[in-house]
Chain A
Amino acid sequence: DGGITQSPKYLFRKEGQNVTLSCEQNLNHDAMYWYRQDPGQGLRLIYYSQIVNDFQKGDIAEGYSVSREKKESFPLTVTSAQKNPTAFYLCASSMGGLAGTQETQYFGPGTRLLVL
């Protein structure tokens, strides 16, 4: 069963803690993405990776970090520097390609992060 899995579904964080959100895909996609979804604001890109061992900042990367050591995995760490981390986090993947290619991003089920 191919797809994107994210864990956990819900995550609670105490003030000052770093937490890591997991994203795994078995679609053999090169590109992976992290988005943040807030009510009334749609999705905003945090980080993306087009290939293993490479990643780029998106529109709202401050307070977040990522790694891409394996093609299948793209974990996101929400650091204590992120001042407003409570949100719904979505991971996505696509085949990966150059500008002008026609691609579709597919999304995982999301992780809801709550700060206590």
Chain B
Amino acid sequence: AQSVSQHNHHVILSEAASLELGCNYSYGGTVNLFWYVQYPGQHLQLLLKYFSGDPLVKGIKGFEAEFIKSKFSFNLRKPSVQWSDTAEYFCAVNPGFMGANNLFFGTGTRLTVIP
């Protein structure tokens, strides 16, 4: 079955450490890619998205993600995390041949940043 994989279930980092969260998908062809973040007690928010163009996309709060088509990956990065980045992060993929209603989510990665 086609899927979205986030291999890191729980990541614990100290403040100022660098972050990279993996996201791999198995859909062929054109894809629209998203990272959403869910802070404790808050709703799911869009962190960044890739539709086309420059494969390195920048989002809010210093996050960026790189689309590597050959690796079917869309990893999320941040050079220096803060305690306020503690949240759950979800990768989501919309296969381009499907309508926008077909948004498939990974199982999420919980990030804990220790002050």
A-side residues, CB < 8 A to B, are 31, 33, 40-45, 48, 50, 56, 90, 94-110
**Nearest 8 CB-CB pairings of A with B:** A103-B100, A107-B44, A109-B43, A42-B105, A102-B51, A42-B107, A43-B105, A48-B101
Inter-chain CA distance A109–B45, complex, in Å, is: 9
Are B107 and A104 in contact, with the CB atoms below 8 A? no
Report the nearest B residue to A47, measured CB to CB.
B101
Q: A40-B107, A42-B107, A108-B43 are in contact. Are A50 and B99 (CB under 8 A)?
A: yes
For the residues of B in contact with A, the DSSP-based class is: loop
**B103 CB within 8 Å of chain A:** yes
CB distance from B53 to the nearest CB of A (A): 11
In the bound complex, residues from chain B placing their C-beta under 8 Å from that of A105 are 100, 103
**B36 CB within 8 Å of chain A:** yes
Are A107 and B100 in contact, with the CB atoms below 8 A? no
CB distance from B44 to the nearest CB of A (A): 4
Report the nearest A residue to B100, measured CB to CB.
A103
Binary contact track B87-112/A, C-beta < 8 Å → 1, others 0: 00010101011111101011110000
Q: A104-B49, A108-B43, A110-B43 are in contact. Are A99 and B98 (CB under 8 A)?
A: yes
Report the nearest A residue to B9, measured CB to CB.
A40
Are A56 and B101 in contact, with the CB atoms below 8 A? yes
Report the nearest A residue to B44, measured CB to CB.
A107
**B34 CB within 8 Å of chain A:** yes
In the bound complex, residues from chain B placing their C-beta under 8 Å from that of A56 are 101
In the bound complex, residues from chain A placing their C-beta under 8 Å from that of B52 are 102
In the bound complex, residues from chain A placing their C-beta under 8 Å from that of B97 are 99-100
